[in-house]
Structure formats: structure tokens, C-alpha cells
Chain A
Amino acid sequence: MNGPQDLGGQMGFGPVRPEPAEPPFHADWEGRVLGLTLCAGALGLWNIDESRHARESLPPAIYYNASYYEIWLRALEALLAHHQLVSAQELAQGAAEPAPAHPRRLDAAAVPAVLATGSDYLRPLTTQPRFRPGDRVRARNIHPRGHTRLPRYVRGHTGVIEAAHDGFILPDTNAHQRGENPEYLYTVVFDGAALWGPDAEPGLTVSVDAWEHYLEPA
């Protein structure tokens, strides 16, 4: 979706402000939100793509005013409500009736192994890839209403396949519980001038990782 998350090339957000010796968290609640998000995700009712879509579906005015952990918290509340794990009334009251532990509740003892394992997003394919390194391709001019990982700033522009990877889960369907539908993934390199015109900075190239159906021969 052409939502608030699709920031590449936008203007007006001011300077980047590095923070020397930045701590992992700036307030206790940020760590709790990280933990809540990972623990709730471990219940298995949604995947990482659906999580990202919940975040980008926040209204733009809220998204841009929120810190990143606030975005995570609001998206988590939305996912919990959508999957009927928490009711609007419970959220409003901050209270709930006690219940026994969910069978997939992430226990503290399992945390190190779960974090050190992660999730495998590769899905090797037996079909022939459509493109090969060196091929010229155009990022399609598409504007899906749902989740996608093709940023607007490359759509319609021509680049070169630098690397052809194996199949990866397709976020566009996985985010909406319409299946993994793995496709070949490619690293596509664009010249700065192709993306940004004559005022592009000198010597700039930008790459994105694009699923096969995001691309067409150029």
C-alpha cells in the first residue's frame, strides 16, 4: 500500500540525528513493547508480514507522530483485536478475566533458543527463474492496496539484476493470510540518475530486493 511507511525519497523530515552511546531502550516501556510483540507473535496467529502491514496501516498522522515502539504497540493492539485475542472492552478497561496459559505461550526458558533460531524465509523453487544477473528489468508501475515490499521510488524505473536469489515467501500474500506463494528474489540495482534525475548525487547506485512479479523485462 502507498502508506506512511513508504518513505524513500520523501522530503521534510529534517536532519538525521545520531545519538552517541545510544542505549538499547530510552524508556522501560520500549523494552516491554519489544517483548510483548515477540511473545504475541510466538502464538503463531500472524506472521512478520502481517505485523508490518498492521504498522503501515496506522493513519499517517499517527504513524509520523509516533516513536517506533509506539508504532509497534499500536499495531500489536490492532493485531490482538483483529485476531480476537483481546477485546476492545478489555483494552479500554486494561483488565481481563484470568485464563490458563495458552498452549503456544512463549516461556522464558525457551526465549534464548527461539531468538537464536529465527524463521527461515527461504522456499527453494524448482521452476526456472525468469531473470538472470545482468538482465535489464523495469520495476512495474503497480499500486497494490494491500501489503507490498516494492517501494514507490523505484516503480517504473529501469535497473539491472545484480543477484538472483532462491525463492522467498511473498509478503504480498503472506501478509493477508493468502499463502506463502514463494517467488524468486532479485537484487536490482538502479542508477541514482535513473531514480532522481539530473540532480542526483554523483556516483550513486541504489538497490532493492524485489520478488519476481515486481519486475518486467526492459
Chain B
Amino acid sequence: MPHDHHDHDNHLDPMEARTRALETILTRKGLVDPAAIDAIIETYAEKVGPRNGAQVVARAWDDPAFAEWLARDATAAISDMGFTGRQGEHMQAVFNTDTLHNMVVCTLCSCYPWPVLGLPPVWYKSPAYRSRAVIEPRAVLAEFGLTLPESTGIRVWDSTAELRYLVIPQRPANTDGFTRDALADLVTRESMIGTGLPRVPA
């Protein structure tokens, strides 16, 4: 496609130059250590991402006591797994049921639970998602290939404060006896935002 979906990201050359100029200034003025920037990038490119959240979900599926803890005090339960820090200081886990599907948005900026999901994808930060998730979530879900029956309620959580939401999807059928790692492999990023469901085992 000659015109793909990066139409919000097509200013590469001017932005590259502008960013380099600012980094040069801040480094020379002793305000920024370029190696610290490298370390931040490495953290979110390689270490902190949605596999963390998938481990939380898999444990919740596998361990009812942990699921109960997660429902009562998600910050402590998730911290117990070693996932803490910036943009995940105050966590809340919201559980899908047979009758309710949860979906998370930040209409005002791009609030997102970094320690468990990493950095938000472009679509999550896009005006299209932020504007529509609260008024027509079913139409948005259809664009993710997910159509829910009208009898299933949809709860949209607008992250307007410092609470960060992690959706706990329902455990797929036919996963009895799965190891936690095998369960975690079924958990997608979208299923933890609420714009998708977990994979179904083959």
C-alpha cells in the first residue's frame, strides 16, 4: 500500500534532526547522559513488555488464590511477580466474565500500564481509538476482528487518573493441564487491553 497506516509517523527526517539537536544540547549542558537514554530504550525494547502481563494472567488462571489477591490488591499481587515501577504504581485488575467484557482507554493522553504491558502501541495512542472507545466500543472491537453478542455488556475504563488497568481475560476452553508458560503463550497484548481475546489452543 503506498499510503499505509503510519500517516502520523511520516516526518522521520525532520524529527530525527530535531531530536538529535535537542539531545546534543542537553548532553553538552550536562542535563542528560546519552547512556541513560540507551538504558531506557533497552528496558522498553527488550525487557519490559506484554509478556510480563501474560505471566500475570496465566498465574491468575492457574492459581485461584493469586486471582483473588489480584482482584483485591493488584498492585501488591503484580509486584510479587517482580513487575513494578513507572506507570504501574497503582494497578487494578479487571476480570472479564460471561456477561461483561472490559476494555481500557485513555481518552486524555496515553496512560497505559508499562510494567506489565510495556509501551503502548501506536493505535492505543491514536485519536481514532481515544475518541471512539468510549462512544462506540463495539465498532472499535469489530475493527480488531472481535464481535461480542449484544447480551455481553461492555465496560470501558477511561484511565483519567494514576490508576492503571489490566484486563484479565477468561481462560480459554480446552486448556486443562496446560503449564503456566503454555497458558501465557495464549495471552495477547490486545486481550489485556480488552480489544481482543486470548488465542484458542490449536
Contact = CB atoms under 8 A, between A and B. Distances in A.
Interface of A: 5-11, 13-19, 22, 24-29, 31-36, 38-40, 43, 52, 55-56, 64-70, 73, 76-77, 80, 85-86, 90-91, 94-102, 105-108, 110-112, 114-122, 149-151, 153, 165, 168-169, 171, 185, 187, 189, 195-196, 200-211
Given A27-B9, A33-B19, A67-B15, 7 more contacts: A18-B144, A29-B19, A35-B38, A94-B24, A149-B161, A151-B108, A204-B138
A56 B122 CA distance: 18
B186 interface: no
A149 B160 contact: yes
Contact of B157 (A97, A108, A120, A207): A207
User: Which label, helix, strand, loop or mixed, suits the secondary structure of the B interface?
Assistant: mixed
A169 B163 CA distance: 12
A118 B87 CA distance: 7
Contacts of B25: 86, 90-91, 94-96
B132 to A, nearest CB: 7
Query: Which 8 A-B residue pairings sit nearest by Cβ, starting from the closest?
Result: A35-B37, A94-B21, A8-B107, A209-B161, A108-B35, A111-B39, A31-B41, A10-B131
B135 A39 contact: no
Interface in B142-180: 143-144, 150-163
Nearest to A72: B110
10 contacts: A17-B143, A19-B121, A68-B122, A73-B19, A86-B22, A94-B20, A149-B160, A203-B152, A206-B134, A209-B159
Interface stretch (B43-51, B53-61, B63-71): B43-51
Contacts of B160: 149-151, 208-210
A95 B163 CA distance: 40
A15 B134 CA distance: 14
B161 A68 contact: no
Contacts of B9: 26-27, 67
Interface size class of B (residues with CB under 8 A): 35 or more
Given A94-B25, A112-B43, A211-B161, A151 B107 contact: yes
A19 B163 CA distance: 26
Given A13-B126, A28-B16, A204 B43 contact: no
B19 A36 contact: yes
Contacts of B48: 115
Given A24-B45, A35-B38, A168-B161, A76 B22 contact: yes
Contacts of A105: 30-33
Contacts of A205: 153-156
